[in-house]
Structure 1
Amino acid sequence: MSLPRIGVVIVTMGTRPRELEDLLASVDKQDVPAARVVLVGNATSLDDVATDATRIPLDENLGCPGGRNVGLELLRDSGDVDVVVELDDDGLLIADDVFRRVQRLFAEDPKLGIVGFRVADEDGCTERRWVPRLRADDPMRGGPVTAFLGGGHAFSMPMLRQTGLWPAEFFFGHEESDLAWRALDAGWEIRYVPELVLQHPRTSPARHAVYYRFTARNRVWLARRRLPVPLIPVYLGVWITLAMLRMRSLTGLKAWWGGFAEGVRTSCGTRAPMSWRTVWRMTRLGRPPVL
């Protein structure tokens, strides 16, 4: 059995130097070395980072998906790797066999497109929002799913060549859903593998000032891009209701509705809705594309 070559992409803004140093060390200690590691600096020079990785400093902040695309394009065009592992710059691989396990998973299943890692905090706990399924009571239950976490995952390079890369225009928020839905629609499998662990500090996505605006805007864009027409109002209605029930900030409320309006009035990019067959497949996997 031929084992795939592993590549790694990490995007940083240079604001977490100690965490990035620890992450790079955890990548270096893997018992199967990466064929190539790419470090992308979103609006940062990377001059102070001590690493043998390929460094790509960017003059502007392209957002997480845009920055990741820079690294993915380099690896895709080089032909050096078959599987790409992407990691948050404040994450940490606590085991040294992660890449070996990833290799085996992709070698054994040619239709495997995405492997999602389990994210755990410093105490080893996995928050419910980090489990990529609606029934999130058991974070150790792996298997086929319809979503994955952006903090730690692996992509099949043949899948990326077929489906395309991250939606860079999203900048922050729901880019994982856009890519996951495209992968499922193209017939690829997404698998949650809880034995693959990325340690990540407990944080709230709302710590980002643009969280509410981008969350609302990108949900509208996602629906307009990827859903059959009858499901668009259903999806948006569900998420308007949930957002209003969860909202605890007047500032956040104003930003959320501003983002929603932006999503309605601005271009969502190329529309390529999923097939009804994919809708049914996602429903059978436990998460229809309206939740």
Structure 2
Amino acid sequence: MKIAVVILNWNGILLLEKFLPSVLKYSPEATVYVADNASTDDSVSYVKAFFPSVKIVKNDTNLGFADGYNQALKHIEADLYALINSDIEVTENWLQPILKTFENEPKTAIIQPKILDFKNKEYFEYAGAAGGFIDKYGYPYCRGRIFDTLEKDNGQYDDNCEIFWATGACFFIRSTVYRELNGFDAVFFAHQEEIDLCWRAFNKGYKIKYISESIVYHVGGATLQQGNPKKTFLNFRNSLLMLTKNLPKNKLYPILLGRMVLDGIAGIQFLTKGKFNHFVAILKAHFSFYRLFLKHYKKRTKFQEPKYYNTKSIVCIYFIKKIVVFNDLFRTKQI
């Protein structure tokens, strides 16, 4: 199968200098692309000078993660897309087990590898860990990471299994499925767009998988740091838009109402911690959602799978019941 490894870049010359060599060294099966989001540094000239085998696709403006990939992939022909962040270090033979899975499982449309922390390589990394899930209200969490609790990799997730969403940090997808689903939702710009795409694939009957034999290391926070209010805005707004598009019809309004209440509680917590900018970001996220609601309601498809979650409220489980390890959700029957 023809595979394209596509690295989205915006002013990331230092990251490309550090991580592009590992991608080229360990990806002989792939054609490597840098999709540049109108960088103003010397990223493009640097890649052309030092990595002439890498193909360049240029976007005219910074379109964010979502539309940045949408526009770039229009110019890239391959059976499989491997969309990886510029702050990803890949390892030897990282592609083979994923290629094998795609070849043997035609209903598997999206795959992620094991994501470990580049800064602390014994631990899972926040963005994806060992595969993603959501609760009834759309809050995401991972095997190996629930909210801010990161697990050490002791081999507890050394399996290959179906998951609900794959991380955008290292996201493999069949090009035919990407086109069928019209790619990422451009309105999202960044954050949660990969969960939305996976949910749409899930509603179409496709499988999303985690493959543990493939390992990469992720720096994380290279674009927007965890404490950035813009990140808070995008996460809260995009999650509501995602729910609007993908929830089963009979659950749409009750879940949206419940989610808004929970968002309000989160906003109050930010206030009590003196994080006024994040409180304002949640308010702005909700007003932006109200403006975009009808547009995204019209994006709903005819069928939404009713069983999309494996926990009712990860917020309650984590903050009230103090269960912070993924496997403990099942040992204590919290699902």
Residues 227 and 273, structure 1, Cα contact 8 Å, conserved in 2:
no
- Aligned ranges 1:1-291 → 2 under 5 Å: 4-14=1-11, 16-30=12-26, 32-34=28-30, 36-44=31-39, 46-49=44-47, 50-51=50-51, 52-75=53-76, 78=77, 81-93=78-90, 95-122=91-118, 123-124=120-121, 125-127=123-125, 130-131=128-129, 132-133=132-133, 136-137=143-144, 138-203=156-221, 205-243=225-263, 244-245=265-266, 247=270, 248=273, 249-266=275-292, 267-269=294-296, 270-273=298-301, 275-276=303-304, 278-280=305-307, 282-283=308-309, 286=310
Aligned partners of 2:258 and 2:163: how far apart in 1? 20
Aligned partners of 2:226 and 2:142: how far apart in 1? 23
Question: What is the number of equivalent residue pairs in this alignment?
Answer: 277
Q: CA deviation at 1:206?
A: 2.7
One-letter identity of the residue aligned with 2:143: A
Tell me, which stretches of 5 or more residues in structure 1 are unaligned? none
One-letter identity of the residue aligned with 1:70: Q
Aligned partners of 1:157 and 1:57: how far apart in 2? 19
Aligned partners of 1:207 and 1:198: how far apart in 2? 24
One-letter identity of the residue aligned with 2:303: S
From the two aligned structures, give the one with the greater strand fraction.
Answer: 2
Aligned partners of 1:66 and 1:289: how far apart in 2? 31
Residues 216 and 263, structure 1, Cα contact 8 Å, conserved in 2:
no
TM-score (norm 1): 0.84
One-letter identity of the residue aligned with 2:196: D
* Distance 1:186-1:55 versus aligned 2 partners, 3 A rule: same
* Distance 1:8-1:274 versus aligned 2 partners, 3 A rule: farther
Deviations for 1:127-186, whole angstroms, at most 9, x for unmatched residues?
Answer: 466341357354445400111111012111221232221111110121012100111111
Aligned partners of 1:274 and 1:143: how far apart in 2? 28
What is the percentage of aligned positions where both structures have the same residue?
A: 20
Residues 63 and 172, structure 1, Cα contact 8 Å, conserved in 2:
yes
- Structure 2 counterpart SS, 1:47: helix
Aligned partners of 1:129 and 1:57: how far apart in 2? 26
One-letter identity of the residue aligned with 1:252: H
TM-score (norm 2): 0.74
Residues 110 and 174, structure 2, Cα contact 8 Å, conserved in 1:
yes
One-letter identity of the residue aligned with 1:116: Q
Deviations for 1:43-93, whole angstroms, at most 9, x for unmatched residues?
Answer: 216122232222123331100111111232212xx3xx2111110011110
Residues 44 and 57, structure 1, Cα contact 8 Å, conserved in 2:
no
Deviations for 1:248-271, whole angstroms, at most 9, x for unmatched residues?
Answer: 422101111111111112254442
Residues 84 and 169, structure 2, Cα contact 8 Å, conserved in 1:
yes
